[in-house]
Amino acid sequence: MHAPSRSLRFAQRALLAATLVIPALGSAATATADDRRPTVTSAPTPAASAEQAASEDEAAPRDALQDELTSQEPRAESGQQPGQDLSDEDLQRLMQAIGLDQAPEGDPAAPVNGDLLPPPAPVPVTGRGGFAGFVQSMNPDMSLILDVAAAWFSNEPMQLGAHDPNRTGFTFQQLEMHLSAAVDPFFRLDANLVFSQFGVEVEEAFATTTSLPGRTQLRFGQFLTSFGRLNPTHPHSWHFADQPIPNGKFFGGEGSRGLGVEGSWLAPLPWYVELIASANDAAGACCARSFYGGEDLGVRAIGDFLYTLAVRQFFDLNPDWGLGWGITGQFGPNPTGLNNRSEIYGTDVYLRYRPVNSPVRTTVSLTAELMHRRRQIPGDLLADWGGYTQIVWNIVPRWEVGARYDFATGLDNDPLDPEWVSARHRASVQGTFYPSHFSRVRVQLNYDRPTWMDEPIFATILATELLVGAHGAHDY
């Protein structure tokens, strides 16, 4: 006969504890209930007699098991029988037996004199780990966004945005893949890859910190700079099918973006105030048109980067009204001469009305941006203006209408736009239908008036967008 294993002894003693404790608690509860219950005497019914017999049959095996366990575990010399209250000595011996069975044999940390083992140390949590964490890290939030359009232009179109409908006929605006995932408790990774008919480009790919102290945050990689309200966003979040005129003229067809690093700080004030500063490459005809643009002269000094400074504020006027206001500045070199610089200043306002008690969830928003650009060229200082304002009424969740006016002034002897010698104005209206949160159909009409040309340009645009996958909330 082999001695019973520790696991078996532990199971036997646990069963013994149950047979000792549960009947005692049941007896006490029954006695208490009987003290409060009025005594009622009645003859037992046949059903009650059968139930009592079944109960006795079920109790017989339990009593036999209890007797067997009691014979293996000597009782204290107190004369108590199972079902009576446990003495302190019984509890001590029972806890001692359980504690000894939990300790590994030969373990120097085993309990002495029947003391229980200390509780196990908590497992440290360090973010995603193990195979499950690896699988999750390889499965980020992913979405595909398709934008296509059909358009008609009365004259040669003068669209400036890289994703604008730019000819009479069909335009494949973009197929954007968005990827986003938490790397660990310290970083998040976001990427936007844009597929066109002729290739793929990395529009954005950057990491963002998630646990820096002092209300601060960093991001680094390639990203759209935080200039104004529209520039940091993507076409699928725009309310019109094309880019405003000043954004294309001052920044480039892809907006202001580049490789760099950005830091932000959330001020501890009663209203929302965020301070932002970034340093990026100053080259790229697509993305830094007013600076080095297509002439990448490299970095020879700290002043050869493109710097962006911004202050963003939000005021919660009341439950129905919100107001956002921002001020931005960009500073960097241009290629027209030694130490020649360019500067762009901007301010933006966003006013939103959304009555919280509206049964149809209607929303009206007004957005306006104004920009001023200054550029040094040999023997002169060029200064021009641009801006846009738009109002959008989301009548019900599925229907939206909007109107926009955008403009940019012109200059003589502008090396970037020599033919743009006077102002250009454009007015647009749009109507949008959202079959669901993941699709939309938009009709837009444009009246474009470059004043240096003899005739205006009329345009009709039918744009469609479809989205599959994860769809995060847009910025307010």
pLDDT for res 137: 59
DSSP 398-463: TEEEEEEEEEE---TT-SS-TT--S-EEEEEEEEEEEEETTEEEEEEEEEEEETTSSS-EEEEEEE
- Domain ranges in the chain are 1-31+61-109, 143-469
The residues, any chain, with a CB within 8 Å of residue 413's CB and separated by 6 or more, are 380, 382
In the chain, the N- to C-terminal Cα span, in Å, equals 77
DSSP 15: H
CB-based contact 137:159 (threshold 8 Å): no
| CA distance linking residue 313 with residue 378, whole number of Å | 38
DSSP 305-333: SEEEEEEEEEEE-SSSEEEEEEEEEEEEE
| CA distance linking residue 18 with residue 25, whole number of Å | 10
SS3 386: strand
pLDDT for res 119: 52
pLDDT for res 214: 96
Q: pTM for this structure?
A: 0.71
From first to last of the 476 residues of the chain, give the pLDDT tens digit: 444 455 445 555 555 555 554 554 444 444 444 444 444 444 444 444 444 544 455 455 455 545 544 554 444 444 444 445 566 776 666 666 665 455 444 444 444 444 444 555 444 444 444 555 555 556 889 999 999 999 999 999 999 999 999 999 999 999 999 999 999 999 999 999 999 888 899 999 999 999 999 999 999 999 999 999 999 999 999 999 999 999 999 999 999 999 999 999 999 999 999 999 999 999 999 999 999 998 988 899 999 999 999 999 999 999 999 999 999 999 999 999 989 999 999 999 999 999 999 899 999 999 999 999 999 999 999 999 999 999 999 999 999 999 999 999 999 999 999 999 999 999 999 999 999 999 999 999 999 999 999 999 999 999 999 999 987 666 65
CB-based contact 330:344 (threshold 8 Å): yes
pLDDT for res 1: 44
- Number of neighbours of residue 34 by Cβ within 10 angstroms: 10
Q: Is the dihedral of CA 56, 61, 62, 65 positive or negative?
A: positive
Amino acid present at 365:
S
pLDDT for res 470: 83
143-469 CATH: 2.40.160.10
Nearest to 166 by CA among 148, 182, 179, 181: 148
| CA distance linking residue 257 with residue 238, whole number of Å | 17
| CA distance linking residue 161 with residue 200, whole number of Å | 17
Helices 46-72/6-36 angle, 10° precision: 140
With 0-12 / 13-18 / 19 or more C-beta atoms within 10 angstroms meaning exposed / middle / buried, residue 185 is exposed
CB-based contact 258:330 (threshold 8 Å): no
| CA distance linking residue 243 with residue 234, whole number of Å | 10
DSSP 104: P
pLDDT for res 422: 96
Token pair for residue 319? 């439950």
